[in-house]
Amino acid sequence: MSRLAGAVHTEAYRFLRKELVELRRSAGLSQANLAEKLGKPASYVAKYELGERRLDVVELCIILKAVTSEPEVFFGKLLDASPSKL
């Protein structure tokens, strides 16, 4: 496993994935519903929720819009959960 691939298995990235799942469910969306809003196949959502695919910051922002999340709150939680070193 490459060093980059391992990054999806850090505690901070697990937190990010967990928060995204909770936001999707709170919005009343299935993975398929969210994928449709994003213009992607359902496997896209499943893969990032399972940690099989990383998200870049632009993708993350688009997902937050789709689930009507407040980005400031989300990023505040993520910053609090993030370690001080890579």
**Which CATH number goes with the domain that contains 41?**
1.10.260.40
Q: What is the pLDDT of residue 7?
A: 60
Q: What is the pLDDT of residue 69?
A: 87
Q: Is residue 86 in a domain?
A: no
Containing structural domain, residue 14: 3-80
Q: Is residue 18 in a domain?
A: yes
Q: Is residue 39 in a domain?
A: yes
pTM for this predicted structure: 0.85
Q: Is residue 71 in a domain?
A: yes
Q: How many domains does the chain have?
A: 1
Long-range CB contacts for residues 50-54, cutoff 8 Å, separation at least 24: 50/17, 51/8, 51/9, 51/13, 51/14, 51/17, 52/8, 53/8, 54/4, 54/7, 54/8
- Evaluate whether 16 touches 80 at the Cβ level (below 8 Å): no
What average pLDDT values come out for the chain (86 residues) when binned by 10 residues? Answer: 54 93 97 98 96 94 94 92 85
Q: Is residue 85 in a domain?
A: no
